[in-house]
Amino acid sequence: MQDQLKLDNFICFAVYTASHALNRVYKPLLDTLGLTYPQYLAMVSLWEQDGQTVGGLGEKLFLESSTLTPLLKRLETAGYVRRERSREDERVVVIRLSEEGIRLKEKAIGIPGCIAAASGRYAVDLTRLQAEIVALREALNKSVV
């Protein structure tokens, strides 16, 4: 039997659909902040560490400049960040939170709890699951070289 070609046995399919499911849970919460999900991740990274470069953010979020540049421009238009060319190295663009961007953190603080409530109704330990998914990601990233 070739049930290796059945969708339900694909870990990739599980991850793919879980990712969409998470997005759907986040969407109504993020709508109140005026953020999309990738924009939210960028803001979380900036709340952790302000003044990151486009490349630095890309490394943390695993995204290319072709994805981040327009996303960050939209965040700038929304008034949450400023994009400034570094004076020491004119190739580099530094992203800085605006006052409004800093304030937004207060409104975002409750979101992870809402997600935990939505996902935590079943038995599995989310912390361990999270660590295992990260391990999977690392194994995959290594294999791509």
64 binds, among DNA, its own copies, none (CB under 5 to 8 A by kind): DNA
Residues found near DNA in the complex (CB under 7 A) = 16, 20, 23-24, 27, 36-39, 53-56, 58, 62-72, 74, 83, 88-94
Rounded-to-integer distance, Cα 133 and Cα 136, Å: 5
C-beta separation of 26 from 115 below 8 A? yes
Rounded-to-integer distance, Cα 80 and Cα 71, Å: 12
CB of 73 to its own copies, least distance (A): 21
C-beta separation of 54 from 95 below 8 A? yes
Q: Can you tell me whether residue 84 is helix, strand or coil?
A: strand
Residues found near its own copies in the complex (CB under 8 A): 2, 4-22, 24-26, 37, 41, 44-45, 47-48, 60-62, 105, 108-109, 112-113, 115, 117-122, 124, 126, 129-130, 132-144
